Structure 1
Amino acid sequence: MPHAPQRIFTGGPILTMDPAAPEAEALAVRDGTVVALGSARDVLPLRDSGTDVVDLEGRTLMPGFVEAHGHPTIMGLAIAPPAVDVRPFTVPTGREVYDTVRAAVASAPGRPVGAYGIDLLLQRDLDPPHRATLDEISPHAPLVLVSNSGHAAYGNTAALHAAGITAATPDPPGARFVRDAQGEPTGEAHESAAVIALMNTVADDRLDDHHVQAALRWAFSRHARAGITTVTEMAAEPRLLPALRAAAEHPDSEVRVRAYVMGTPDLAADPDRRFAGHAPARAMFGVSGMKLWADGTPWQGSIATSFPFKDNDATLRIGLDHCAHGSMNYSADELAALTLAFSAQGFPVACHVHGDVTFEAVLDAYGKAAADDPERLRTLRPRLEHCGAVTADQYRRAARLGATVSLFMDHVRWWGDVLADDLFGPEVADRWMAARSAVDAGHRVSLHNDGICSPTDPLSSVATAITRRSHTSGRVHGPAERLTVEEALRAVTVNPAWQLHLENEIGMLRAGMRADLVVLTADPRVVGPDSFRGEVAVAAAYLGGRPTWS
């Protein structure tokens, strides 16, 4: 039959995420797009002898997941084998962290070693990695430990020397090197530019194109296993953009990539820089905007809040030293200047923000960018990333400005008890990642895993959004902020596709859209919230109708 589908799916519920036709019995794919969907009686006669008919055997088909805020580059470089992965999800105790690091140094004598993922709040017996401790483990070669949040790094003396960091070294914009009373660097670095300066001392020999390509392919495969068909690289280093593009455009790439470039003052000051526009979904790579870090992370005490951090052993461990409030990475004027510059260049801006005080400063910056042409800012769809301590009133103000939000729901799953017991108190934990407030304010909320800061798993985000249950204790933090299953599924499909300006091509199943698909072991609509995590899993993934994992 001329123009017969290459593949037809039937034999299980098909959730389209299309309000006009939410469910179908069969779906046909040709040349990477959906060509028909509806009843099996209407779709199956389109096949010919060359059509692959996939029997779902009662499993559920839906649009492939869109990771709104990922970091496949750092994921590949930091934890792909043979990298040293010491995240609390894989190495739960401090003793095991140092045993793992010592073994890595011993196995590579004289070579730089980096370890990713320490967490002073989840690995409670972990001694903070002081410079002297790291010098004892590796006296001659650079050794760097990076926090699981990615907002702090700790280096030995050799790493400081290799990076050229001295008492005279100025702090990079939006970041800092921690110094002792005499002004000497302690080996601790906070925020992106300072962390990268230390990380490069153990990664530069692995940043050749061959190694980066291999690391990215490994990271892409991990996303496909989680049912992800489009991933956002939310902190693309300009020098690694060519490698990222090449990996995404490889004929066998498992995911489509959209990148937000790290927004530096130098890029903001470039008079010739202009946004090239959003690439269509058939393009496997595209640049979507610029990324800024307005503040840091609660796990390092580096967010600006109107309410205090507790003064206790936990906050002393993360460096607050009896200080009740964290700070922003930029002044309000600096933040506004960067936002205005990138918006004038035509770039959508995505701003990392947790604290409610910081959030207000970001909204002020977006407001200034919208002052001359409010509709233009709405067209850009500026983003607010993570949004831990944001209030309902702030969500409403953000919606009025035309900004859009993406929430890191796994904060509640992995650190909900930490928020309630160690850092702030139950009332703050109850409104952390206030998804219901955001939806009720009118936002097309997306949910994300933030690269390697939690295991890459959109279904975990969905499960946490509908239960708000802590992995550690089983406690529920903020039941009033739960989403419905339908809302949570939209937050990992339709909504992030809209945030990436791809809503007419992905995130939904409709004739003419890309055939990005995920097969689930059970229908998520009929599984109880408390059994969701155990019963719903990814069975297969397809990118443009091409199988990427099963």
Structure 2
Amino acid sequence: MSGTAPDLIFTGGPVLTMDPARPRAEALAVHAGTIGAVGGRDEVLALRGPRTEVVDLGGRALLPGFVEAHGHPTMMALAVAPPAVDVRPFTVPTGAGVDARIRAAVAAAPGEPVCAYGIDPLLQRDLPIPTRQALDALCPGAPLVVVSNSGHAAWANTAALRAAGITRDTPDPAGARFLRDADGEPTGEAHEGGAVEALLWVVAGDRVRPERLAASLDWAYAEHARVGITTAADMSTEPSFVPALRAAAARPDAALRVRSYLIGTPELAADPDRRVPFPGHAPAEELFGVSGIKLWAEGTAFQGTIATSFPFLDSAATRAMEAIRCAHAPMNHTPEQLAELVVAFTAQGYPMACHVHGDVTFEAVLDAYAKAGADDPGRLRAMRPRMEHCGAVTPDQYRRAAELGATVSLFMDHIRWWGDVLADDLFGAEITDRWMAVRSAWDAGHRVSLHNDGVCSPTDPLSSVATALTRRTPASGRVHGTTEVLTLDEALRAVTTNPAWQLHLDGEIGTLRPGMRADLTVLARDPYTVPPGLLPDEAAVTATYLGGRPTWTE
């Protein structure tokens, strides 16, 4: 360790390194933000100096800082940071509660725009799908926008449509759409990125003012640190927010390293000068960097907007959301358009990430990646193009993706929160048993990562780990797909080492060995001594360190 005494030494509990060469150790030393030594208790303690702080773990476990492979810290800041109207089913479990919370927000700010984020009629069973008329009754004089928990749909009242300038003549944004009635008038419902964003800007208000956004980002970053996350991908950064993210990273007490994937649009593909430059992957020492471009190839099962080779069930839930009960629901882009975008961004040096659930869409994304790498497959492989969520993907498709050099990140807690919904309301037991087929992805050769998708489920890597081990929906106790589970070794790598590799940070974070950044998570117990389903509770995070600096303590 170059003869300099460490700043910190951790001992008194297991050090779980995620390093196959030495999976466990007794102590770890930190100097100037990096790991100086990992080894036995006596050999590491022998390095201490008069100013070295020795942290007694007291039997707690030390792991690499968790890496949220697919998060939305900016969306968390804009949509659910206090005093936002958070109506997600994890905070408001009933439709009656949603109605009461929106009414209270409207009453508290008469005449002001209101945005309520997070409704989910599939989990809030007594909640009707909003209509323009119902929202007009709730808030007749000011814009009101209600956004789905998935973020793929929004509903507006008349005042919001008027403020957004959306009329029967308004064209649909690329890859998105405003729903219309039989006479061609907008109903107030919007699907997918550009259309949802058009409504959100109307009610954004002072949330985007620099001082308000800075405070909200601080809150969102602290929420990540609280669950042991030291690095998060921001998977759909509006380019105009990049200066605010850079400013957040420059603060001396910044609690999170952020890597942004910018929202990809046809306009940006055609006009690179409008885009944030991509000079290459920023080193881990820099707490903000741009990592690539994100595309939404399709929507979500929970709106009936994914393209699959199998139909939706004919159920009350699918009838209510008017899911297309046949194969090949509409993608956000045609396969040809998708390939054009992927080829354009890849040629300009931007690594790609594509949101995809349906097996039909997954095949289209694979074809687009193959076309982008046709002239130089090695270059494409080195860029580590990503596939996000991957609900209905088949083992053969995972193998083809691995052969192309693509990498996958799975939204594992779909099973925790919506496993019963998928089985009973949307697709049936057979499809649900292979939904988020993480074992198949791992066995196909992928360095799989697990994620919580920001606001769409509670941000908690240990929850993803527990679901990967059990595939249990806690609300009912049902297990969906016993053959698609990971081991604890694999699942922990899927929230540390593997996502670090996907973000091109694998030489600096995700493993505890000398020379790596001292990004650390302390768990209340050794996770190997805890029943898998109890991990989020019994092995909860008690402290988080970013580059050796504490960002959260219990």
CA contact (8 A) 1:178 1:187 kept: yes
Structure-2 residue corresponding to 1:102: 103
- Among the aligned pairs, what percent are the same residue? 69
Structure-1 residue corresponding to 2:317: 314
Looking at structure 1, the residues matched to 90 and 535 of structure 2 have their Cα atoms a distance apart, in angstroms, of 20
Looking at structure 2, the residues matched to 286 and 425 of structure 1 have their Cα atoms a distance apart, in angstroms, of 41
Change (3 A) 1:13 1:85: same
Structure-2 residue corresponding to 1:173: 174
Q: State the AA in 1 paired with 2:60.
A: R
Q: 2:372 aligns with which of 369, 373, 381?
A: 369
> Map of 1:66-77 to 2, 5 A cutoff?
66-77=67-78
How far apart are residue 204 of structure 1 and its match? 3.5
Q: 1:448 aligns with which of 430, 447, 451?
A: 451
The alignment partner of 1:501 has SS state of coil
Structure-1 residue corresponding to 2:437: 434
The alignment partner of 2:107 has SS state of helix
Q: 2:549 aligns with which of 542, 546, 550?
A: 546
Q: State the AA in 1 paired with 2:270.
A: A
CA contact (8 A) 1:279 1:286 kept: yes
Over residues 447-506 of structure 1, what are the superposed CA-to-partner deviations in whole Å (9 max), with x where a residue is unaligned?
000001000000000000000000221100001000000000000000000000000000
The alignment partner of 1:234 has SS state of strand
The alignment partner of 2:46 has SS state of helix
Q: State the AA in 2 paired with 1:327.
A: P
CA contact (8 A) 1:486 1:525 kept: no
1:510 and 2:513 equivalent?
A: yes
Change (3 A) 1:322 1:304: closer
Q: 2:302 aligns with which of 287, 295, 299?
A: 299
Looking at structure 2, the residues matched to 365 and 443 of structure 1 have their Cα atoms a distance apart, in angstroms, of 19
Over residues 267-294 of structure 1, what are the superposed CA-to-partner deviations in whole Å (9 max), with x where a residue is unaligned?
1112556631000000110000000000
Structure-2 residue corresponding to 1:406: 409
1:203 and 2:204 equivalent?
A: yes
Looking at structure 2, the residues matched to 242 and 203 of structure 1 have their Cα atoms a distance apart, in angstroms, of 18
The alignment partner of 1:539 has SS state of strand
Change (3 A) 1:316 1:462: same
How far apart are residue 205 of structure 1 and its match? 3.0
How far apart are residue 354 of structure 1 and its match? 0.3
How far apart are residue 2 of structure 1 and its match? 6.3
Moved over 3 A (4+): 271-274, 321-325
Structure-2 residue corresponding to 1:224: 225
Q: State the AA in 2 paired with 1:255.
A: L
Q: 2:497 aligns with which of 487, 494, 498?
A: 494
- Give TM-score scaled by structure 1 length: 0.99
CA contact (8 A) 2:304 2:324 kept: no
Looking at structure 2, the residues matched to 206 and 252 of structure 1 have their Cα atoms a distance apart, in angstroms, of 22
Over residues 299-338 of structure 1, what are the superposed CA-to-partner deviations in whole Å (9 max), with x where a residue is unaligned?
0000000000011210012222666652210000000000
Over residues 153-203 of structure 1, what are the superposed CA-to-partner deviations in whole Å (9 max), with x where a residue is unaligned?
000000001111000000000100000001110000000111111011110
How far apart are residue 117 of structure 1 and its match? 0.4
Structure-1 residue corresponding to 2:28: 27
Structure-2 residue corresponding to 1:40: 41
How far apart are residue 107 of structure 1 and its match? 0.5
Structure-2 residue corresponding to 1:16: 17
Change (3 A) 1:151 1:23: same
Looking at structure 2, the residues matched to 504 and 150 of structure 1 have their Cα atoms a distance apart, in angstroms, of 33
How far apart are residue 533 of structure 1 and its match? 3.5
Moved more, 243-252 or 377-386: 243-252
Q: State the AA in 1 paired with 2:206.
A: D
Structure-1 residue corresponding to 2:270: 269
Q: 2:463 aligns with which of 430, 449, 460?
A: 460
Structure-2 residue corresponding to 1:415: 418
Q: 2:531 aligns with which of 521, 528, 531?
A: 528
CA contact (8 A) 1:120 1:318 kept: no
The alignment partner of 1:504 has SS state of coil
Looking at structure 2, the residues matched to 259 and 271 of structure 1 have their Cα atoms a distance apart, in angstroms, of 17
Structure-2 residue corresponding to 1:79: 80
Looking at structure 1, the residues matched to 3 and 439 of structure 2 have their Cα atoms a distance apart, in angstroms, of 49
The alignment partner of 2:302 has SS state of helix
How far apart are residue 120 of structure 1 and its match? 1.3
Looking at structure 2, the residues matched to 9 and 146 of structure 1 have their Cα atoms a distance apart, in angstroms, of 44
> Map of 1:74-223 to 2, 5 A cutoff?
74-223=75-224
- Give TM-score scaled by structure 2 length: 0.98
Looking at structure 1, the residues matched to 430 and 497 of structure 2 have their Cα atoms a distance apart, in angstroms, of 31
How far apart are residue 21 of structure 1 and its match? 1.0
How far apart are residue 206 of structure 1 and its match? 2.1
The alignment partner of 1:154 has SS state of strand
CA contact (8 A) 2:156 2:188 kept: yes
Q: State the AA in 1 paired with 2:219.
A: W
CA contact (8 A) 2:282 2:289 kept: yes
1:290 and 2:293 equivalent?
A: yes
Structure-2 residue corresponding to 1:354: 357
Looking at structure 2, the residues matched to 464 and 530 of structure 1 have their Cα atoms a distance apart, in angstroms, of 7
CA contact (8 A) 2:307 2:327 kept: no
Aligned length: 550
Q: State the AA in 1 paired with 2:107.
A: A
CA contact (8 A) 2:66 2:496 kept: yes
Looking at structure 2, the residues matched to 284 and 182 of structure 1 have their Cα atoms a distance apart, in angstroms, of 51
Q: State the AA in 2 paired with 1:136.
A: A
CA contact (8 A) 1:311 1:324 kept: no
How far apart are residue 532 of structure 1 and its match? 2.7
Looking at structure 2, the residues matched to 350 and 281 of structure 1 have their Cα atoms a distance apart, in angstroms, of 20
The alignment partner of 2:518 has SS state of coil
Looking at structure 2, the residues matched to 370 and 487 of structure 1 have their Cα atoms a distance apart, in angstroms, of 29
Structure-2 residue corresponding to 1:424: 427
